[in-house]
Amino acid sequence: VFGVNPKQAARHREVMGNSGAKSDKADAHALADMVRTRRHQLREIAADSDQAEAVKVVARAHQTMIWERTRHMLRLRSALRDYF
């Protein structure tokens, strides 16, 4: 993953000689070309550490458990209302 300054991207778009009309497809093509041709001018973003990845996994598991608890509580409430 590379961090691209928006001004750098705009200058590269001008150099490519596009019509000036902006579209997602044209922007993606321009950025891909920029990474291909000017990789030495771009800064690569460091990946997350193993510890950060572990925290992400634990946080996702925690959120999933909260959602499951809420779902079960709502099912129980609905069943009790139907019964009584």
- Per residue in 17-58, pLDDT tens? 766 667 788 888 888 888 888 787 787 887 778 998 999 999
Distances (CA, A) of 70 to 10, 56, 61, 74: 47, 21, 14, 6
The predicted structure's pLDDT at residue 20: 63
The predicted structure's pLDDT at residue 45: 80
Q: How far apart are CA 50 and CA 48, in angstroms?
A: 7
**pTM: predicted TM-score of the whole model, two decimal places:** 0.48
State mean pLDDT over 51-79.
96
The predicted structure's pLDDT at residue 69: 98
